[in-house]
Structure formats: C-alpha cells, structure tokens
Structure 1
Amino acid sequence: MTGLDRSRSLDEATLRYLNRAFGRRDEVRQTSLFPTNKPERLVVTLDTDSYPEGIDAVSLELRTYTNGDFHVSYHEARAGDRRRCRWDRHDQPHNARDHYHPLPDAGTAATVDQSYATDLTQAIEQTVLPWVDKRVGTLWESTTD
C-alpha cells in the first residue's frame, strides 16, 4: 500500500455494488473488478460508439475506502493523445477534501474545490455521469467546427 494512508481500508463492498450497477448500463462495454494490474480498482470501459470517430478508448477507474475517501478518474484516448480528469475526496495540502482535477492531465495546479454527495454512488450519479454526458456533447460539438 505504498503511498496510501494506512488507516484506511479498501471499501470492497461498494466497489462490488458499483461493478454490478455499471454492468447494467447500456454505455458500458465491460467492467473489471480488482484487475491484476490495478488490484484496488474497478475499471469501467465505456462503449465508444456514442463518441465521435477517432476516440479510441474511454474508461473510468474507481477506488473507494471505508473512511469515505475516493478517487474516480476519467481516461480518454485518441490518436496517441491521452486526456484525464479526476474527482477526489481525500485530505491533502493543495485543496479542500472534495476536489476536482480537470482535463487535460488532472494536474494539481488546476485543481478546484468541489462538494460531492456523501455517498460515492450518489456522487457518481450526480457529478461524474452528468460530466461524462456533457463531455460526449463537447466532443461532438468540436468535430463540427
């Protein structure tokens, strides 16, 4: 657990619940719970059929802990370009406990304070999934310029 606060434990029950919930969504191509290369995560691969041509891959990666901390990352790849952003809840020196690292690289310098629902499943429904829907629209709009 290098780099992680040892006082928190992975919330496997919530990740299992989210794995089942994402597995029922039409826009999800596949889920991978605790993959060997990312054993503390749920990786959700989104179907790129609703994205403009040229978007090669889109995924969400989720980690959540029993102390309420979480990290949800959005990854987007096209023609060798990778973009990512991240919604976080954890204590650290650069921002409030709830914060967002925006595109294109989820860097700390551009991080903004946020306020998320207490429950991670609600934060995904109220914040992450609406952002993903808006991102798809933004990508389509950028192809018509």
Structure 2
Amino acid sequence: MTGLDRSRAVDEATLRYLAWAFGRRPEVRQTSLFPSTKPERLVVTLDVEYYPEPVDGASLELRAYTNGDFHVSYHETRAGDRRRCRWDHHDQPHNARDHFHPLPDAGTDAAVDRNYATDLTRVIEGAVLPWVDDRVDALWESETG
C-alpha cells in the first residue's frame, strides 16, 4: 500500500465509534454512517429544537482516515442561507496541518492555524462540541439581545 492509498483509507472504526457516541447525545436527531451520497462520512443531524427559530437545519459531517487526517464540517441553514466552518488535520499549502476554516463559508483565505489532539474523538470533545455549544448560545443571545 502506498502512502497515498493509506491516506485515503477511511478509518471506519473511528467513525463507527463516533456514530455510536453521537447517537447517545440528546441534541442529536440522527446519525448516518457512510450514506450513499457521502460514502466516506459520518453525517450527524443536530436537533433544531436546540436552536432559535431562524435556524432550520444544523449538521456535522466527519471524515477520518487511517493516517490520522480528518475533516469535520459544521453546516447551518436558515431561510435558505447556508453557513459552514471546518476543522482540518491534513497537509496542504495554505496553513499548518491543524487548522480551522471559520464561518460563514469555511473559506481558505480565512483559515486559522490551530493545534488539535491527534485522536479525532478528543478533537470532537475539546474543540468541535464546545464550538457548537458556543455557537448555539451566541445565536440565542442574538435573538434575545
């Protein structure tokens, strides 16, 4: 197996574990592991009941590879407006291996270098879920403030 082949091998065990873990969380409406339209991913649909009314959809999409690379995307829609951000751990020319692409469109030009744990489950616990919690809080504050 070449390095390129290894880098594209889906880490099924990690994604299966994360599907199980997300499935136990009350703010998760549904998990879809390796859906036919996105066969390398775990798609986590968040319950919009946790969001203020203008938000009509929120989800996470996770990709993990056996070489440790990963991509985690957050998607949010309201009134047809789609926003997204992304946590990445992979080699590329625009930033350090660990980096974050912020809202509203996860653009490469706005990417910020970060330092993530090497284990994706720890990245979910230490970076992604706290960010989602902060995002939901900020949305509620903007609605009531």
TM-score tier by shorter-chain length is over 0.9
The aligned counterpart of 2:132 is 132
Identity %: 75
**Corresponding residue SS for 1:88:** strand
Identify unmatched segments of 5+ residues in structure 1: none
Matches of 2:138 and 2:123, distance apart in 1: 21
Which segments of 5 or more consecutive residues in structure 2 lack a partner in the other structure? none
Q: Matches of residues 1-145 of structure 1 in structure 2 within 5 Å? A: 5-8=4-7, 9-145=9-145
Cα distance in 1 between the residues matched to 2:6 and 2:33: 23
- Alpha-carbon contact 2:6-2:66 (below 8 Å) kept: no
1:10 CA displacement: 0.6
Q: Secondary structure of the residue that 1:13 maps to in structure 2?
A: helix
Q: CA deviation at 1:50?
A: 1.1
Cα deviations across residues 20-45 of structure 1 (Å, max 9, x unaligned)?
00000000000000000000000000
In structure 1, give the amino acid aligned to 2:23.
G
Following the alignment from structure 1 to structure 2, what is the Cα–Cα distance between the partners of residues 140 and 24?
Answer: 24
**Displacement, 1:6?**
3.4
Partners of 1:125 and 1:77 in 2: CA distance: 23
TM-score by length of 1: 0.95
C-alpha distance in structure 2 between counterparts of 1:141 and 1:25, whole Å: 23
How far apart in 1 are the matches of 2:142 and 2:5? 43
The Cα of 1:144 is off from its aligned counterpart by: 2.4
Measure, in 1, the Cα distance between the counterparts of 2:140 and 2:6: 43
- TM-score with structure 2 length normalisation? 0.95
1:84 CA displacement? 0.1
The structure in which a higher percent of residues are helix is 2
